Amino acid sequence: MLGAFAIVLVISNTFFLFNRHLFINLILTAAILVLIFFLIKKAGKNSNLLTGNFFRAGAYLLLLGLFFEAWEGGIKKDHSTYSYYFVTSGLAFFMLMVFNGLAVTKAGAAINSYLSLNGSNPMVAYIVGGLLLTPVLHVTGAIAIFESMNSNAWLGFLKGVLFTGIVSLITALFTKRGWFWKT
């Protein structure tokens, strides 16, 4: 249940900040944070201490970032602002809550294991798309099919999911074979 609210918090902040609905975002964020706080409080001793720590750190950083949002012209990645640093750090703690909750289920543990294969080989994950997958698409001629997916938003989304999924699978394969790229 906590994980679902944490995901809603991440998605709503991403959506409302992108569309510049700042007041709605602040109210919704505050409401979800209060709800998560009471769910953790209700769980009491059954609640994981780590989850509580993730919540406190995430809530503090997220709210701090939302209050800094009006400074430096709003939240921006390039040239990054304090709001960007605090909001993304806060949302990262809420995603850690989600992954921590997933780890206790069998399906969630499998998802975490797969994602950790990518995370343990980040240099390969960074370069596979540009230096392996894109040239293969060009050589095979499949790039034409791939580029035709730019015709509307949903196909563009599907293109992103396919590209990221293939990169992720290749990275996981490299990691399982022990082929690491270290700096």
Query: Could you tell me the residue ranges of all domains in the chain?
Result: 2-104, 114-177
Residue-level pLDDT at 61 = 97
Residue 9: how many CA atoms within 13 Å on its side-chain side?
A: 33
- Mean pLDDT calculated for residue range 45-68: 89
With beta carbons less than 8 A apart as the criterion, state whether 132 and 170 touch: yes
Question: Mean pLDDT over all residues of the chain?
Answer: 91
Neighbouring residues of 115: CB distance < 8 A, sequence distance ≥ 6: 99
Name the pTM for this structure.
Answer: 0.76
Neighbouring residues of 94: CB distance < 8 A, sequence distance ≥ 6: 6, 7, 9, 10, 54, 55, 58, 62
Most confident of 85-94, 95-104, 114-123, 140-149: 85-94
User: What is the three-state SS of 129-150?
Assistant: HHHHHHHHHHHHCCHHHHHHHH
Residue-level pLDDT at 103 = 83
With beta carbons less than 8 A apart as the criterion, state whether 72 and 83 touch: yes
- Mean pLDDT calculated for residue range 165-180: 94
pLDDT digits (tens, 9 = 90+) for 109-167: 888 889 889 989 989 988 999 999 999 999 999 999 989 998 888 999 999 999 999 99
Of all residues in the chain, what percent carry a pLDDT higher than 90? Answer: 61
Give the pLDDT band (50/70/90) at residue 63.
Answer: very high
Residue type at 145 in one-letter notation: I
User: What is the three-state SS of 86-130?
Assistant: HHHHHHHHHHHHHHHHHCCCHHHHHHHHHHHHHHCCHHHHHHHHH
Residue 46 has pLDDT above 70, yes or no: no
Residue-level pLDDT at 70 = 80
Number of Cβ within 10 Å of residue 93's Cβ equals: 19
Residue-level pLDDT at 45 = 72
Give the pLDDT band (50/70/90) at residue 107.
Answer: confident
